C-alpha cells in the first residue's frame, strides 16, 4: 500500500473531496452498493446517500465489492429518496438523475460547471429513478448506448459518470 501511495481511511476522511454526492435510490443489489462505495473512494467523492431499500453498511455482501471503502467514504441513510433530494437542494446542490427521459441530456454533451456542487441519483436496477424523485431534479443525464440493451448496470453507470465529471471538472490537480 505504501508503494502505491494509498492513504488510511482516517487520513482519507480528512482529505479534500470531489464536490459530488451520490444518491442511491432503492438499489436492490448489495454488490452494486459495494461497487459504488469502491468507486466513490477512488474518486474521493464527498458522500453517498443510501435511500429506501438500499442496504447500509456494515454488511457482508456490500463488503465483498466495497473492499473496505465503507470505512473511508461518508454515507447517510434516508428512508425516502425525496427527503435526501430536498436536503441536497436546500444545500444548493445541482441534482441530476442518471435516467433516460424525454428531456435527458447526453453525458458527452453535459458540461458540469466548475465550483458547483452536484448530486447524482442512480436508480433501482429494474424501475430506475422514481418518478417523484425525477420531479425534484434539476435535470436528467443519460449515457449513449449503441447495442441491443437499453441500460448499464448501476455500478457501471456510476463509474462512467463519475469519471466523466472528474475529467470535465479537471480534478486531477485539485485532489
Instruction: Give the list of residues 6+ apart from residue 21 with CB closer than 8 angstroms, or none.
Output: 45, 46, 47, 48, 49, 88, 93, 117, 118, 119, 120
Burial of 40 from C-beta contacts in 10 A (0-12 / 13-18 / 19+): buried
Task: Report the SS3 class of residue 174.
Answer: coil
Share of the chain above pLDDT 70, in %: 95
Rounded Cα distance between 115 and 26, Å, is 29
- Whether 48 shows a pLDDT value over 60: the answer reads yes
Residue among 28, 38, 34 at smallest CA distance from 59: 34
What is the DSSP pairing of strand 75-78 with strand 139-142? unpaired
Query: If you average pLDDT over residues 22-33, what whole number do you get?
Result: 98
**50-79 pLDDT, tens digit each:** 999 999 999 999 999 999 999 999 999 999
Kindly state the helix (H) or strand (E) to which residue 109 belongs, with its residue range. none
**Cell 433530494 found at:** 85
Whether 42 contacts 17, CB under 8 Å: no
- Whether 123 shows a pLDDT value over 80: the answer reads yes
Architecture per CATH, 9-168 = 3-Layer(aba) Sandwich (3.40)
Query: If you average pLDDT over residues 13-25, what whole number do you get?
Result: 94
The overall average pLDDT reported for the chain is: 94
For the chain, the farthest-separated pair of C-alpha atoms sits apart, in whole angstroms, at 48
pLDDT score recorded for residue 175: 55
- Can you give the pTM of this predicted structure? 0.94
Residue among 72, 125, 59, 117 at smallest CA distance from 98: 125
Share of the chain above pLDDT 90, in %: 84
Length of the chain: 175
- Whether 1 shows a pLDDT value over 70: the answer reads no
**132-148 pLDDT, tens digit each:** 999 999 999 999 999 99
Query: If you average pLDDT over residues 108-137, what whole number do you get?
Result: 96
Domain residue spans in the chain?
Answer: 9-168
Instruction: Give the list of residues 6+ apart from residue 172 with CB closer than 8 angstroms, or none.
Output: 166
Amino acid at each position: 500500500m505504501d508503494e502505491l501511495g494509498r492513504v488510511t481511511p482516517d487520513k482519507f476522511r480528512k482529505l479534500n473531496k470531489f464536490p459530488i454526492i451520490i444518491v442511491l435510490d432503492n438499489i436492490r443489489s448489495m454488490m452494486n452498493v459495494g461497487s459504488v462505495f469502491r468507486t466513490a473512494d477512488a474518486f474521493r467523492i464527498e458522500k453517498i446517500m443510501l435511500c429506501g431499500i438500499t442496504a447500509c453498511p456494515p454488511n457482508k455482501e456490500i463488503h465483498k465489492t466495497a473492499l473496505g471503502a465503507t470505512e473511508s467514504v461518508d454515507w447517510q441513510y434516508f428512508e425516502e429518496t425525496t427527503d435526501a433530494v430536498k436536503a441536497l437542494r436546500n444545500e444548493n446542490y445541482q441534482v441530476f438523475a442518471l435516467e433516460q427521459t424525454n428531456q435527458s441530456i447526453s453525458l458527452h454533451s453535459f458540461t458540469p460547471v466548475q465550483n458547483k456542487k452536484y448530486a447524482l441519483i442512480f436508480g433501482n436496477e429494474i424501475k430506475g429513478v422514481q418518478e417523484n424523485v425525477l420531479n425534484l431534479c434539476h435535470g436528467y443525464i443519460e449515457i449513449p448506448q449503441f447495442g441491443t440493451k437499453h441500460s448499464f448496470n448501476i455500478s457501471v453507470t456510476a463509474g462512467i459518470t463519475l469519471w466523466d465529471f472528474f475529467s470535465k471538472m479537471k480534478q486531477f490537480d485539485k485532489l
